[in-house]
Amino acid sequence: MTRYAQLTKIVVMATFSLVAISCSNYGGDDDGPPPEIMSQPASTAAPTAEPAPPPPITASSVETAGGKCTEKTQIMCWEWDDVAWEQVTKDELLQAIGNCAEDLDVCEAFNREFGFRIAKRNACKQTDSEECWEYKSYREFVSIPPERSPFPPPDADAQGEATRLLSAGWNRPTSIPTTYVKTADLSEDAISEVRKGVSATEAYLGTYGPLRVFVVGTDVSATEPIVQDFCSWAHSASTDNFNSCVEHDQGVGIREIAQFQGNNGFAQHSSSLASPTQSFVIGNPESGSGNKIAVHEYVHIYQNAHLLYDEGMPRWLEEGSAEFLALYLGDQQGWGSFKQEMEVALATASRLRSLIPRLRLHDIETEQLRDRVLAFCGRCMGQLQFETGQWATAWLVRKTSLDTFYLSFLQDNASLGWIASFTKHFGLTPDAFYIEFDNFMNLSLEAQSAILSTP
């Protein structure tokens, strides 16, 4: 593969690998250098007439925002603005591939990628499917503050449940070894891949559970014993929850992994059982990054072992820190390059900032806020939770240490709640962090990459 083909590939990986909102897309491989930092030409855009001032933003105008723009003064809407979109795309390609005027090979790679995106954008104008969110132009996102719940919640039932979980040892390491089951169409090697990831993570974080891992292949008919086993492990047998699991919820998810030959995964935290259990499901680990995905899912097991109430913590913290540690431990194990993968993630997170002005991590802190973002730009959510969340984790690890993040902050979520634990261990409130992290994301790629430590 030529150097320019590699560079182009990174661009494609960075912007077109749709990261699903659940932990379901970990495709892509590791070869290829990080994107180069190239100087950008000055903007050639002609000056425009002074725009009319926007209408005042009111609570109701924010709540009803979203959808395609129909008026010039409308806020929080999207449109097919060719000039604006092409500028964002050119800026990004310039940074990732290089200046077209400098080298014929670079120029060819640039034009090929730009042409591909124009064609995709033209198709999107016809279909407007959910994959098309990256081809639109967005007016500024308007933030509203999160409604934070008190910790611990005043509800007596919730406190009783937390006490029960503590006495059941939910947040303490267990001596019960993790067990693995697989569908009959997979070889033992499939389990071996997953076990490598889980073992590497248990060695760092400890063994939590009891945990059972379900490994799914591609034969849908072979999934039935696994569906029964999973639903029995995660729910009380013969209850409505069990039946719903088999027929509607995770049972369907397991069958679909086989049907679509997915290599995604999902975690389950059955804390309400009389004897609480944990579990995760992973598909076709030998078809791509099974060991790394196993680390990611195991981090979710560990995070949730230190959550005693429904509120939990923000998704960007959950997903960002799960993926960060998956790449970090994966590099230590020789499964991929932490630095390269993080730089690909940075390119994606940076492009999101250009594409959707003012959209930030704090806009998805609570489920209510997430709904606003989903209504505004749909799958953009994945890039906030994953790639941007990975870099938020990197920033917090750089400010303190890997151990402070994973062994102190996450563990103290159980007794302090995430906000107090965050403030105690990172030395600033989440709100102060959002401001500092936003400033960090405005730095040069070189300065941003410099905060990464060597695994």
Least separation in angstroms between residue 382's CB and Zn ion is: 11
If one asks whether residue 294 binds Zn ion (CB under 5 A), the answer comes out as no
We find the least distance from the C-beta atom of residue 30 to Zn ion, in angstroms, to be: 19
Is 239 exposed, middle or buried, given 0-12, 13-18 or 19+ CB atoms closer than 10 A?
exposed
SS3 268: strand
CB of 56 vs Zn ion, minimal distance in Å: 39
C-beta of 311 vs 319, nearer to Zn ion:
319
Q: Is 295 in the site for Zn ion (CB under 5 A)?
A: no
- How far, rounded to the nearest angstrom, does the alpha carbon of residue 431 sit from its chain's CA centroid? 21
**Binding marks (x or -) toward Zn ion, 17..56, rule CB under 5 A?**
------x---------------------------------
DSSP state of 212: E
Q: Which CB, 7 or 23, lies closer to Zn ion?
A: 23
Q: Chain centroid to CA 285: how far?
A: 19
CB of 89 or CB of 201, closer to Zn ion: 201
Q: How near is the Cβ of 422 to Zn ion at its closest, in Å?
A: 19
Contact 446, 373 (CB under 8 A): no
Using CB under 5 A as the binding rule, the residues of this chain from 304 to 333 that contact Zn ion are 319, 322
- Name the residue nearer to Zn ion (CB basis): 322 or 364: 322
Query: Helix-strand-coil percent breakdown of the chain, rounded to 5?
Result: 55, 5, 35
Closer residue to Zn ion (CB): 135 or 386: 386
Rounded-to-integer distance, Cα 312 and Cα 209, Å: 18
Find the shortest distance in angstroms from Cβ 326 to Zn ion.
9
Q: Which two tokens stand for residue 447?
A: 């300065």
Helix (H, G, I), strand (E, B) or coil at 216: strand
**Closer Cβ to Zn ion, 230 or 298, answer by number:** 298
Name the nearest CA neighbour of 185 among 221, 150, 210. 221
Please, what is the minimum distance in Å from the beta carbon of residue 174 to Zn ion?
A: 22
**Closest CB 196 distance from Zn ion, rounded Å:** 18
**C-beta of 231: minimal distance to Zn ion in Å?**
21
Nearer to Zn ion, 96 or 364 (CB): 364
CB of 20 to Zn ion, least distance (A): 10
249-255 contacts, C-beta under 8 A, 24 or more apart: 250/281, 251/227, 253/281, 254/214, 254/216, 254/223, 254/226, 254/227, 254/230, 254/281, 255/220, 255/223, 255/227
Binders of Zn ion among residues 209 to 228 (CB under 5 A) are: none
The nearer residue to Zn ion, 21 or 168, going by C-beta atoms, is 21
**99 vs 41: CA distance, rounded Å:** 9
- The site string for Zn ion over 347-366 (x = CB under 5 A, - otherwise) reads --------------------
Q: Measure Cα distances from 84 to 139, 319, 404 in Å.
A: 11, 31, 42
Alpha carbon distance 361, 228 (integer Å): 38
Q: Which is nearer to Zn ion, 78 or 386 (CB)?
A: 386
- Per rule CB under 5 A, is residue 381 in the interface with Zn ion? no
Nearest residue relative to Zn ion (C-beta): 23
Half-sphere exposure of 448 (CA within 13 A, CB side): 26
Q: Where on the chain is the footprint of Zn ion (CB under 5 A)?
A: 23, 319, 322
